Amino acid sequence: MERSRIAVTGSTGLIGAALVRSLRADGHEVCRLVRRPAKTGDEVSWDPRRGYVDVAGLVGCDAVVHLAGAGVGDHRWTETYKKEIRDSRVLGTAAVAEALASLDTPPKVLLAGSAIGYYGDTGDRAVDESAPPGEGFLPSVCEEWEAATAPAEEAGVRTVHVRTGLVVSAEGGAWGKLFPLFKAGLGGRLGNGRQYWSFISLHDQVAALRHLLDTDDLSGPVNLTAPEPVTNAEVTAAMGRVLRRPTLFTAPAPALRLALGDFAEDVLGSQRVVPRKLLDSGFTFAFPSVESAVRAALR
């Protein structure tokens, strides 16, 4: 991509912050959407709950990357927090899409956050972007989340639904909570360990987002996961090898349900998701195996 002006929501999150660093390092102009009055020239004010975006700040943007949303693994899933998860995604995406549709010259592309939660529990069955939505809370949220981009799509903006897997990073996210446990020798499998985890290194996540910005014929859902999903037991073994720690502990399913509420079913559920469209478009993973992704996270 030639030097461009790119707007990013969720720029303080794990993925957003890494993406902003990458874009700026290559000379792109990045404006960040912030939930307060803008203080600097690279900030644009927005309020996703009210559906407000300072549209003037988006004038001249070539692309928008929308990553904002309440953390899925940050709190116990009460009914109140489940509403926060849904509203932060659906209302925020609708606000961004409507703002883009209102511009005389909208950006060429919108990368809109989504998640592999769309597929629900797939068991041992490998699924790609052609698979239908699963059943349950996260699949229903993902369906609404993706549907909220409709105004931008109708305005002619190439829209990609970025279905992200478990991002391997020591800096944050769900995986970031695993590293201290494993470093302390307290790591182990969750439940029976046979559930598939579809992961992606933070490096490859950012590289894939950059690839999606540049690949004009990609739109609709795109899975951002490494090519070979692994089981939780394989993740546990890889973490133990890399960190040189024992992995004797096990978190039984009943204990996880007690600690996490409804979120436990997603921790214990199996998602074997493959990045068919990403691979078909020529994208190459720098860290395709779980062990290489874990080692990359520790650099």
HEC-encoded secondary structure of the chain: CCCCEEEEECCCCHHHHHHHHHHHHCCCEEEEEECCCCCCCCEEEEECCCCEECHHHHCCCCEEEECCCCCCCCCCECHHHHHHHHHHHHHHHHHHHHHHHHCCCCCCEEEEEEEHHHHCCCCCCEECCCCCCCCCHHHHHHHHHHHCCHHHHHCCCEEEEEEECEEECCCCHHHHHHHHHHHCCCCEEECCCCCEECEEEHHHHHHHHHHHHHCCCCCEEEEECCCCCEEHHHHHHHHHHHHCCCCCEEECHHHHHHHHECHHHHHHCCCEECCHHHHHCCCCCCCCCHHHHHHHHCC
List the CATH number of the domain containing 74. Answer: 3.40.50.720
Residues 277/127, Cβ–Cβ less than 8 Å: no
Per-residue pLDDT at 268:
82
Kindly compute the dihedral angle of the four CA atoms of residues 148, 137, 232, 221, in this order, to the nearest 10 degrees.
-20
Residues 66/92, Cβ–Cβ less than 8 Å: yes
Per-residue pLDDT at 72:
83
Tell me which residue range forms the domain holding 125: 5-297
Q: Which residues contact 25 (CB under 8 A, 6 or more apart)?
A: none
Per-residue pLDDT at 63:
98
What total of structural domains would you count in the chain? 1
Residues 294/168, Cβ–Cβ less than 8 Å: yes
Per-residue pLDDT at 2:
81
Of the candidates 267, 240, 244, 243, the residue with the CA atom closest to the CA atom of residue 256: 267
For residue 218, what are its two tokens? 């990609």
Q: Which residues contact 56 (CB under 8 A, 6 or more apart)?
A: none
Per-residue pLDDT at 115:
96
According to DSSP, the residues that pair with 261 across neighbouring strands are 77
Angle at the Cα of 26 (from 20 to 31), degrees rounded to 5? 40
Q: How many CB atoms lie within 10 A of CB 264?
A: 21
What is the C-alpha separation between 87 and 133, in angstroms, rounded?
19
Return per-residue pLDDT of the chain as tens, 299 residues: 788 999 999 999 999 999 999 999 999 999 999 999 999 999 999 999 999 999 999 999 999 999 999 888 777 788 999 999 999 999 999 999 999 999 999 999 999 999 999 999 999 999 999 999 999 999 999 999 999 999 999 999 999 999 999 999 999 888 888 899 899 998 899 999 999 999 999 999 999 999 999 999 999 999 999 999 999 999 999 999 999 999 998 988 787 676 666 666 777 899 999 999 999 999 999 999 999 999 999 99
Kindly compute the dihedral angle of the four CA atoms of residues 178, 181, 186, 191, in this order, to the nearest 10 degrees.
-30
Per-residue pLDDT at 19:
98
Per-residue pLDDT at 173:
85
Per-residue pLDDT at 261:
67
